[in-house]
Amino acid sequence: MEMSVVDGVWQSDELISQDIKQSLISYVIILENVPENEQDWHPGTNKQILDLVHPSLFCFVNQITRVINDKNHFINVDNALEHIDYTRSNVYQWIPTEFNISQDGKVKIESYINNLHPIQHKNLYQIIENIFQCFIPLFNTVLTDLIYNQNIPNQIIVDPYQRYADESSSDNQDDDDDNNHHRRTIIQPDVEEFQIPLSTNSNINLCGRKLQIIVKLANIILTPSNPKYPGGIWHDEGMDNEHIIATGIFLLF
């Protein structure tokens, strides 16, 4: 597990075992094998991203979706089919899934995943539990950094207008401009004295908690006629009312 080149992002190539990867591949094939008219191609991706599980389908609609008054009650996996009509719409708010994290870090999904049938894809639920269990150390680190590392400077600020030294000029100003552009001397900024950040014993630990998780599954599909994927843009997931505090992405090549 290591910090990435992006602030606030941690990554690992080894947390998820090969067995879990192969299990995911096997069960995702079931989601892919649907009639062409039922395939959900992500908008604006030129039919390259096929959404297999996406929270925007049949999500919560304010004043339309039926809501249980008891805040301590949620629809579990066993009786999800009895309530399936309550979540059918296509706008407004994503429906999260209840994940229970035990004290020893084991993960159990306690409510249905929106757009993933809890009976037909029961085995895939278990695979998602195993994957999320591997994510817990990463989430613990990201959330701890979010709270305690906001005031720790980790970059050297450079004034862009005083980045290069003044160079002497000759009679031929055009030649000078061309040469200096490639050969000009960069002014090295001063490095402040390093100070060890204050340590804290109040690290975030998600074990022993219940979390609300929004699950997505998608495939990037390349064909001979459509062979290059330009990538997406960096963005925050969801809107303010989803209250998403962290995102975990498992890329499988």
Reference 60, options 244, 249, 241, 253; nearest CA is 241
> What digits encode the pLDDT tens for the residues 123-167?
999 999 999 999 999 999 888 888 776 555 556 666 655 555 555
Confidence of residue 201 (pLDDT cuts 50, 70, 90): low
The DSSP code sequence of 163-222 is SB------S-HHHHHHHHHHHPPBPPPPPPPP-PPPP-S-----TT-EEEE---EEEE--
Contacts of 213 (CB under 8 A, 6+ apart): 96, 97, 98, 99, 132
Confidence of residue 222 (pLDDT cuts 50, 70, 90): confident
| pLDDT score, position 56 | 78
Q: Say which range, 33-37, 132-136, 179-183, 209-213, has the weakest mean pLDDT.
A: 179-183
Per domain, the residue ranges of the chain are 12-66+74-147+201-253
Contacts of 115 (CB under 8 A, 6+ apart): 53, 54, 55, 57, 58
Average pLDDT of span 98-117: 92
**What's the mean per-residue pLDDT of the chain?**
77
Instruction: State yes or no: pLDDT of 227 exceeds 90.
Output: no
How many Cα atoms are found within 13 Å in the side-chain-facing hemisphere of 27? 18
